[in-house]
Amino acid sequence: MKKIFFTPGPSQLYPTVSKHIEKAMQEDIGSISHRSAQFQEIYKDLIQSLKKLLSIPEDYHIFITGSGTEAMERIVQNCVENYSFHFVNGSFAKRFFIIANDSGKSPVSVEVPVDQKFNFKEIEIPENIELIAFTQNETSSGTQIPVEEITAVAKKYPKTLIAVDIVSAVPYVDLDYKKVDIAFFSVQKLFGLPAGLGLMIVSPRATKKAEMLEDKKIDIGSYHSFPKLLQYEQKQQTHETPPVLHMYLLGKVVTDMQKKGIENIREEIEKKASLLYDFLDQQDRITPFVKEMASRSQTVIVVDIEKTDKDVKKLLAKKGFIVGSGYGKNKTTQIRIANFPAHAVQDFKNLIRELKTL
């Protein structure tokens, strides 16, 4: 039986990926040198197509890392001398905070229960804060922070760097990149690729901060410091041998998405999210975890299954629908359903049909 993965990443591969892998094998993409003109073209194409798809300002940089988690570490190393501020509404926001702490910084956080929202207007951020970190979409709890709230905070603190985790939201999330300094993501979520590549979208202001810290002899890391990443990005190379095949595949998928149209992709995701939330809102035993409309993630939908005595994950798997477990302590009391561009409207209708039988 053909499976379909609704896991929140790694997830269902984007429908064109297998074709692109085949082509990549024919074209020896796994063998080409990362110092070749052919590789430089791949990196350049990737930068250009991403900037186009997401409307990223021309002077922003696209840096290559291994994962979203690595991005968190590199951001605090390169943009924070002492104090970062973290809006913590789930496990990944918490991870960013812990990484700042483990990296020798003194992070500050404001925390809300995962199903509740921040009252941004009432939160005063101290003057000494160098970077404010948001997790726009919390993969662990299925909550989202509306982008307008993020850009409003950015506007209120114009001197402070703004970092946004968009791992499980991009390219759905319509973020105004010029209003933030760093946004980061990995490819195994909405881009529908195998895991192994993380990217950072970085403003000139953020690279300047890193250079300033370097001048002050603050440890900003070595081969993946922003100045090193910048130096290599400018010649469309990387210091280390990067995941060339992943970069090639991402460039191809971004181009496919560009052809489909970013508006169509966003509309389709909202349509699928509505189908599922509307259905769940009418149920008694399997219900949406996030009650508040504006906080509901469109891309990762978390479902409370405590009131049913059935093994939901297993029953769905028997029909070929692979959904995610709840995160952490909610492993058995919740399921998580990804709503990514790789999932068709019909896939969602089929899934809902199965959910009805539970």
Task: List residues near a second copy by CB under 8 A.
Answer: 3, 5, 7, 9-13, 17-18, 21, 25, 28-35, 65-70, 72-73, 98-99, 102-104, 186, 188, 193-197, 219, 221-225, 239-246, 322, 324-325
Contacts of residue 208, Cβ cutoff 8 Å, sequence gap at least 6: none
Three-state SS at 163: strand
Q: How far apart are CA 5 and CA 121, in angstroms?
A: 39
Structure tokens at 9: 């990443």
Could you tell me where the beta strands, DSSP code E, fall in the chain?
4-6, 61-65, 84-88, 108-111, 131-135, 137-138, 143-144, 161-165, 182-186, 198-202, 287-288, 300-304, 321-325, 334-338
Residue 261: CB atoms within 10 A of its CB come to 12
Taking the complex as a whole, the smallest distance from the CB of residue 348 to a second copy amounts, in Å, to 17
Structure tokens at 293: 């409309």
> Of 92 and 172, which CB lies nearer to a second copy in the complex structure?
92
Contact 55, 178 (CB under 8 A): no
> Of 18 and 264, which CB lies nearer to a second copy in the complex structure?
18
Three-state SS at 95: helix
> Of 241 and 274, which CB lies nearer to a second copy in the complex structure?
241
Taking the complex as a whole, the smallest distance from the CB of residue 21 to a second copy amounts, in Å, to 7
> Of 169 and 197, which CB lies nearer to a second copy in the complex structure?
197
> Of 34 and 296, which CB lies nearer to a second copy in the complex structure?
34
Taking the complex as a whole, the smallest distance from the CB of residue 35 to a second copy amounts, in Å, to 7
> Of 61 and 246, which CB lies nearer to a second copy in the complex structure?
246
Instruction: For the chain, give percent helix, strand, coil, nearest 5.
Output: 40, 15, 40
Taking the complex as a whole, the smallest distance from the CB of residue 242 to a second copy amounts, in Å, to 7
Three-state SS at 210: helix
> Of 28 and 59, which CB lies nearer to a second copy in the complex structure?
28
Contacts of residue 108, Cβ cutoff 8 Å, sequence gap at least 6: 83, 84, 85, 86, 126, 129
> Of 71 and 173, which CB lies nearer to a second copy in the complex structure?
71
Burial label for 343, CB within 10 Å (0-12, 13-18, 19+), is buried
Taking the complex as a whole, the smallest distance from the CB of residue 231 to a second copy amounts, in Å, to 13
Burial label for 38, CB within 10 Å (0-12, 13-18, 19+), is middle
Taking the complex as a whole, the smallest distance from the CB of residue 246 to a second copy amounts, in Å, to 6
Taking the complex as a whole, the smallest distance from the CB of residue 244 to a second copy amounts, in Å, to 5
Taking the complex as a whole, the smallest distance from the CB of residue 223 to a second copy amounts, in Å, to 5
> Of 104 and 204, which CB lies nearer to a second copy in the complex structure?
104
Q: What's the half-sphere exposure (Cβ side, CA atoms, 13 Å) at 10?
A: 6
Taking the complex as a whole, the smallest distance from the CB of residue 320 to a second copy amounts, in Å, to 11
